[in-house]
Amino acid sequence: MKSHQYAFGPRDLGHLLAPLIVPLIVFAVLMRLGAFTGVLPTPWPALDIEHTVLTHQAVASQTPGIADFLLIGDSSCLMNVSGSQLEELYGGKHQPVNLGTFMYLGFEGYAAMLSRYASVNPRRVRTVLVLAHPDMLRGVAPIPQYLRFVSTVYSGEDYGDPDSILGQLRGLFGLDIFQSRLLSRLPLPLPKEYGRFYGFNLDLYNFMDRQRGSAVDPHQYQPAPGQGNAEYRLAAALEAGCQALRAAVPPEAKLVVGLSPIPQSFAPENYATRWELLLQQWGQLMGADQVLTNLPPTLPDSCFASTTHLNQQGAERYTRILARRLQPR
């Protein structure tokens, strides 16, 4: 025995969805119209830590400047060397800029960034230092999404994720435009230690401006199991990327390569010897003019934020060492 019977057709479904779909369509039209007419600001997708760093470095790499000493590499380059401190230590004789980003951009990504900087600053750069963590030489493959993100910053497009259904819907309804042109320009809080040290995405961006592209990892290293191993090697798959980066170095500039240090407690026996051999092999693959075998392969644990990054005090110490061991042209 039936107590109730419902009649529910397409028209009823339309009545339910219309209050949701119509505002979304209007919003999408307004976003696209604002972007097309230039009423909205240009894309600036600094929404979180990683995208703020990538946005800053992509913008910096296509901005005319006076730097003659360029640093580029993974996050150990970004975090372990203070560009502003280098400038002070060199007494204004050299103007450094740090374009360090992340491991997952790969050497091809660094090459594109270096080429961009050299093209807008012709015959300016005299020294290019490629600084990387030994872990990068294992040949971690670049992540296409992040390479695409940097390319959209260069092209002035709104970044989205067309590879997923959710990303396609976000693009369809104008949410990518809203995020990269409006939301990102608001102070967005950063998580945990980064939030306590920097505050907001805008603060991180401004900090990197003041530090000539460098940043700080605010954590403190605590030795513990499961943090990986220091059995580093040079992957053959890196050859193409290294050659691309070498080709991007301006002909008038000297190419220098160096490997970042690791915590003393994390280093295996005879690590210094193996570190130097690895560095020499990488320098040969890069066709480097100088290989910084005079940098320390390890530093005390108290200098580190993690196995890959120095903390602020460690970065200051390492920057002083680097300034003594390297004299830019």
Give the DSSP per-residue string, 81-142.
--HHHHHHHTTTSS-EEE----GGGHHHHHHHHHHHHHHHSTTT--EEEEEE-GGGGGTPPP
CATH number belonging to domain 49-163+189-325: 3.40.50
| Residue 15, pLDDT score | 59
Closest among 288, 291, 283 to 234, alpha carbons compared: 283
Domain range list for the chain:
49-163+189-325
Residue reference for tokens 């025995």: 1
Instruction: Tell me the one-letter amino acid at 258.
Output: G
Please report, in tens digits, the pLDDT of each residue of the chain (329 residues total): 566 666 656 665 555 656 677 788 889 899 999 999 999 999 999 999 999 999 999 999 999 999 999 999 999 999 999 999 999 999 988 999 999 999 999 999 999 999 999 999 999 999 999 999 999 999 988 999 999 999 999 999 999 988 888 889 889 989 999 999 999 999 999 999 999 999 999 999 999 999 999 999 999 999 988 888 999 999 999 999 999 999 999 999 999 999 999 999 999 999 999 999 999 999 999 999 999 999 999 999 999 999 999 999 999 999 999 999 997 76
Closest among 224, 237, 304, 250 to 125, alpha carbons compared: 250
Backbone φ and ψ of 219, nearest 5°:
-80, 175
Closest among 296, 262, 254 to 276, alpha carbons compared: 296
Q: Which two tokens stand for residue 56?
A: 């800053």
Q: Which two tokens stand for residue 249?
A: 């170095």
| Residue 49, pLDDT score | 97
